[in-house]
Every structure is written in structure tokens, then in C-alpha cells.
Structure 1
Amino acid sequence: MNSQQTRKPAARSRVVAVTGASGGIGRATAIEFARQGAAVALVARGEQGLKAAAEQVRAAGGVALVVPTDMADPAQVQEAVDQIEAELGAIDVWVNVAFTSVFSRFDHITPAEFARVTEVSYLGYVYASMAVLPLMKGRGRGTIVHVGSALAYRGIPLQTAYCGSKHAIQGFHESLRCELLHDKSPVKVTMVQMPAVNTPQFSWVLSRLPRRPQPVPPIYQPEVAARAVVHAADHPQRREYWVGGSTVGTLIANAVAPGILDRYLARTGMSSQQTQEPQPSDAPVNLWDPADQDHDFGAHGRFDARSTSRSPQVWASQHHGVVGAGAALVGGLVAGIWARRR
């Protein structure tokens, strides 16, 4: 495993490891932690993506360590943890983000492709947690953040491998959290459920669709997701966070009327995940090899013009006390006005 020369922080900074840090949510999250002055380990595969991400982390005020790693290989993951601890110090926060997928009908996916998605997108979370958790428990501190999705609760067509992985992460997260609570462990684990995000995945995920894949609107910029991840790392007592009004709506609808949602997605889910542009025959694919080995895709995908950088729902979910007090105040004022009118 190759490493990139880095400087240790002058004083003890928070040490954060982010998987999938070469692009998308992982990259935006690494930069957001860097703005807090963290020492950030960038764990991913693509050489150019990692190099550019490291430059952005340093520009944001953080210390960067590049750790090329295939998350599907438990030996590489363990080596990554060992390297980070040796070069940056004890890991305070581990953020699991890395994933890959296949946009395709289920019967057009090969067993090897489905296994690869599962190994990266689910088992990568397991392997990382296995490697870092004993160290955190031994020190009596640390936080693991799992980046999930609304699709951890609600499967959609054309993403069987990805949805299966996200559902698996959800179950793994809940089981692990229960064990830590039983042990009264100071180590925390939390999960952040994401909406559709404007990331490069729609340019580099293996697709067998006739038209170019797209996130289902509303689409959020990766910085919205990154801020939510950093907040979760700072406040890991909650079991999970929901990001975006669409995530909230989807999860509520699935809890209340899953059968109706099945039929709705059967009718709309195929077309809503494709643009009107034909899928290029030479589109990059990151399933087996990194698509950003020779080209940096950045944190954003192709949908900047259609994406939002704000989410009132995220603020509200992170400030329950303020929202509750505000609602009580408004309720009291309304009740007072009503009483005077009677």
C-alpha cells in the first residue's frame, strides 16, 4: 500500500478517517472536517481523486494523509487503520462512505458484479468497523459514522445490489449499536440517511440502462450531506439522522403504505432514474478499478444546475429543542389570541 508524505499536526488534532474520500460525499466530508482543523485520512482507490482531495483538505486548514485502499479487501483495510494510527495518531472518528453499484435490472447483473457491490458497499463498512472498533474500545472513546440512504429502508427498481447493501448496513448498524449500549461503551455509532445527492457516481457507476442515470429529484449538493455527517460525528448519541425532506417523506410513506409505494415506484422508478441522453458506450466504470485513477472527478456530479445547497429539514432535525420551543411559543400565542376573541 502506497502512502503520501504528510506532516503530523503540531498539536493534538481530531483524527478522522473517511472512506470513499476521493469523490462525492466522502470528499466533501473530508473537506468539512478539515475546516475544523482535523487531521484527515483519505481512504479510497483513485490516485488523481485522492491527490486532489488531499490538496483541498490542506487548503481548508486540515492535515491530509492519502491511504490508497480497496475496501473490499479486509487485509488492506486493516493495513489502512494501522497506517493511520502510526502516522496521524489515534483515530477519533471513522466515517464509512465508500460504495459502488450497478444501474441495471436484476436479471441483467452477473453474480460477480452483485458480489463486488456487496463487498465494497456493505462489507467494506463491516471490515472497517472490525479493524477500528477494538482500538476505540481499548481507549474508551471514538465514533463510527455510517453513511446510509433512504434506500436503507426503501428499495427501488434498477438498484437491487445497492439497496440490498444499504439495507444490510442498517441491520448491521442497529445490531452493533445494541451491543455497545449493552456494554455501556463510551464508543458511539450513528448513521446518516441520505437523499439523492449530486455526486460523480452517476458518471462512473456501471450502467446497463439505455439512457444516462440520474438522481431522483430533489437533488442535494454533497456539501449538505457532508455537514450532516460532521454534525452526526459531533453528536453521535442519536441512532441516526435523516437528511432532506425527500428522505423524510420516503421513509414515512414506506412505513405507512409500503404497498402503495411499491406500485408508485413500479410506475415511475425506471424513467425517473434516467435522463433523456443516451448512455455513452465509453462511459467510465469504477466497479472493478477506480474511474479516477487518471482523472479527478471532484465532489460534484453533472447536476449542479438542478441541485440545492440547503436543506431546512436538516437544520430542524439537528435543533429539535429550538423547533419544539418555537412550536410551543407559536401554539401559546395562537391559543391566547383565540381565547381573547371568544
Structure 2
Amino acid sequence: MARIAVVTGGSAGIGRATVREFAANGYDVALIARGRDGLDAAAREVEEAGRRALVVQADVSDAKAVDDAAARIEAELGPIDVWVNNAFAGIFARFMDVTAEEYERVTAVTYLGQVNGTRAALRHMLPRGAGKIVLVGSALAYRGIPLQSAYCGAKHAIQGFFDSLRCELIHEKTDVSATMVQLPGVNTPQFDWIRAKLPGEPRPVGTVYQPEVAARAIFDAAHSTRKEMLVGGPTVQAVWGNKIASPLLDEYLGRTGFQSQQDPQPVSPDRRDNLFEPVPGDHGAHGRFDDEATDRSAELWFSAHKKKVGIAALGAAAIGAGFMLASRAREREKI
């Protein structure tokens, strides 16, 4: 029997790459997003991989629409095995340049969208006692940066929600589980359609990763018992840097964080954004940063194989200790 994966925000960017990853690994895939063009194109890719696809056009900030989507998926494809909460919205602007309506919209999609998706998935998974939920987070769930206060706040909120959810699932003694994937800057179309109130075009900070790296991490998380997976050096640096030297990071980002998130080319006056309505067209998985993006993450490999690395390290330490004791024993015999 085919396994079923649901991917919110599956029409473009990380979601689009994740849809391809699950289809390539034998999953039938349901796609939830607002933009019909990208949804239909992603569905064709699933079918070209020999799997079934189901398109559901819905806004994840609408709890009823997400519940209805889950019910339809269960009825038409079958029991949901994996639910990936990936959809988000954002805005690049100083906090005081963001309207209350814009701030609420980013929060509703990015934070409540994951809450709504999780609730909808659990309605079906908990009675069966099986299923996996993957929450897509960010380095910015740990370390806020300037010009993205709404997005950073939403990702921090997801982190708190996730901790609470994990505790409740453990209390329930269920085999339903959740893992959160913390991502770095990724080469997706979002930087061309995200709302921006800046002089220069928005861009990711630090090393940029291809969306396939994120997709592999999400797929691995769907088959892992780990609580969290960190992807990319910038994510590890953000998590640990904030723990060790948060005030120093405030100073550093206050000086550098504005310029580092903008390209030299100015924002076009006729730029279209997807904050309240999808931008028409099929935008695919990749953005405009292919020339600088990397398709590897050593941190992801380490995060996925941490237990094996730990066992190997203990084994090496034990062997080293054995050689040391044997050497000392030989020295005593000489005496």
C-alpha cells in the first residue's frame, strides 16, 4: 500500500523540492497551497515520477480549510503518513514600517498555518496511533534578525508550540511523533515575491543552500526519531552563537544586518508580492542564487547520524584507552 505525504506550500521553493523528494521515494503526495499554476505543475512532476498526486487549493491560515483539506486527502488518497508544515509568508521591512494587517498576515500564515496543519493531521493520526509531523523551522527560530521581525516572531512561536506538542505526544504514549527542521537561507523564489519595503532587492544571509538540501532534511526528519535537525553552518552558528553571546550578536546584526539582506539592485516599483494573494505562474523550486548556492550540508549529515558518530567516538575513545592501559602494563613489566 502506498504511503501518503502532505506538503503545505508545495507549489514552489522548499515545498516544491520536498514534493519531488517524497515522490522520488515512493510516496503519493497531496499538495496544499494557494497558487493554482504551481500546484498543477508540481502535481505533474509527482505523476511523472509514477506516483499519485492530489491538488488542494487552500490558505493554511484558514483552520477550517486545512481541516477540510485533510479530510479530502484521507478520502481520496488514503491515510496520511507524513504531514509537512512548510507554508509561510514574510515581509522585509523595519518593524515600524510594517502595518498591523501585514504583521497579522505573516503570523497567521507562518505560525498559525503550522498550528492548523498539525491539528488537522492529528485528528486523523491520533485515532490510528501512527503518523509523523514535520515542522519546518529556521535558524531564525533561535536568533531574530533585523528587517524580519514578523517572520522571526512566528518562527520563535513555532518553536514554543513544538516543545509543548512533543510533551503532550509523549504523555499520550502514542506512536505519532513530530520533528522540527531548522533551515538556513535557501535559494528559493521567495526573495523575488516576498513583500519588501527596502531600497535593495531582498536576499538570504550567509551561505545559501539549494532547496534540495532542505528537501532531503525534511524527508530524513519524516523518518527520524530525533526531535530536531539543524541544516547548514549558518543555522548551527545562529543557534549556538545566540546561546553564548546574544548581546554581542545584537550589536553585530545592528551594524551589518541591514546591508547583508539586500542586493545592490533596487526593488522594482512594479514588484508583485504574495503576502495576501499568490503571484500567478509556476515559479519552481529555485530562486536567482544558483551561482552561489551549495547543494551539500555537513551539518545535516552530522545531525542525521549523530548517534552513529557518538558511538564511533566512544569506540575510538575505548580503543585509545585500551592501548594506553596496555602500554602502561608493559612499562610496569619492564620495571
Please confirm whether the aligned pair reaches a TM-score higher than 0.5, indicating the same fold: yes
Counterpart Cα distance in 2 of 1:39 and 1:134: 20
Distance verdict in 2 for CA 1:35–1:152, change over 3 Å = same
The within-5 A match list for 1:119-198 is 119-198=108-187
**Which residue is 1:299 aligned to?**
285
Please give the per-residue CA displacement for 1:217-244, whole angstroms capped at 9, x wherever unaligned: 2000010000000001011x22111111
- Whether 2:88 is the aligned partner of 1:99: answer yes
Structure 1 residue 332: Cα displacement: 6.5
**Which residue is 2:41 aligned to?**
52
Counterpart Cα distance in 2 of 1:189 and 1:333: 37
**Which residue is 1:201 aligned to?**
190
- Whether 2:236 is the aligned partner of 1:251: answer no
Correspondence for 1:83 among 68, 72, 79: 72
Structure 1 residue 333: Cα displacement: 7.3
Please give the per-residue CA displacement for 1:51-95, whole angstroms capped at 9, x wherever unaligned: 111111222332211110111111211111111011101111110
Report the identity percentage.
Answer: 54
Matched residue SS, 2:18: helix
Counterpart Cα distance in 2 of 1:98 and 1:151: 16
For structure 1, which segment, 98-107 or 129-138, has the greater mean C-alpha deviation from structure 2 after superposition?
129-138
Correspondence for 1:317 among 295, 303, 306: 303
Counterpart Cα distance in 2 of 1:334 and 1:246: 33
**Which residue is 1:285 aligned to?**
273
Structure 1 residue 331: Cα displacement: 5.2
**Which residue is 1:8 aligned to?**
none
**Which residue is 1:5 aligned to?**
none
Matched residue SS, 1:227: helix
Tell me if structure 2 keeps the 8 A contact 1:33–1:62: no
Correspondence for 1:73 among 39, 62, 65: 62
Matched residue SS, 2:54: strand
Counterpart Cα distance in 1 of 2:300 and 2:185: 14
Tell me if structure 2 keeps the 8 A contact 1:191–1:239: yes
Tell me if structure 2 keeps the 8 A contact 1:36–1:61: no
Structure label with greater radius of gyration: 2
Correspondence for 2:248 among 249, 260, 265: 260
**Which residue is 1:7 aligned to?**
none
Correspondence for 2:9 among 7, 12, 20: 20
Structure 1 residue 322: Cα displacement: 3.2
Structure 1 residue 296: Cα displacement: 1.0
Correspondence for 2:257 among 265, 269, 276: 269
**TM-score, length-normalised on structure 2?**
0.94
Matched residue SS, 1:144: strand
- Whether 2:201 is the aligned partner of 1:212: answer yes
| Count of equivalent residues | 328
Q: Which residue identity is paired with 2:275?
A: L
For structure 1, which segment, 252-261 or 122-131, has the greater mean C-alpha deviation from structure 2 after superposition?
122-131
Tell me if structure 2 keeps the 8 A contact 1:193–1:241: yes
Q: Which residue identity is paired with 1:317?
A: S
Q: Which residue identity is paired with 1:281?
A: P
Tell me if structure 2 keeps the 8 A contact 1:34–1:40: yes
Structure 1 residue 283: Cα displacement: 1.6
**TM-score, length-normalised on structure 1?**
0.92
Tell me if structure 2 keeps the 8 A contact 1:23–1:49: yes
Please give the per-residue CA displacement for 1:273-310, whole angstroms capped at 9, x wherever unaligned: 0111111111220001001x3x1110011100010001
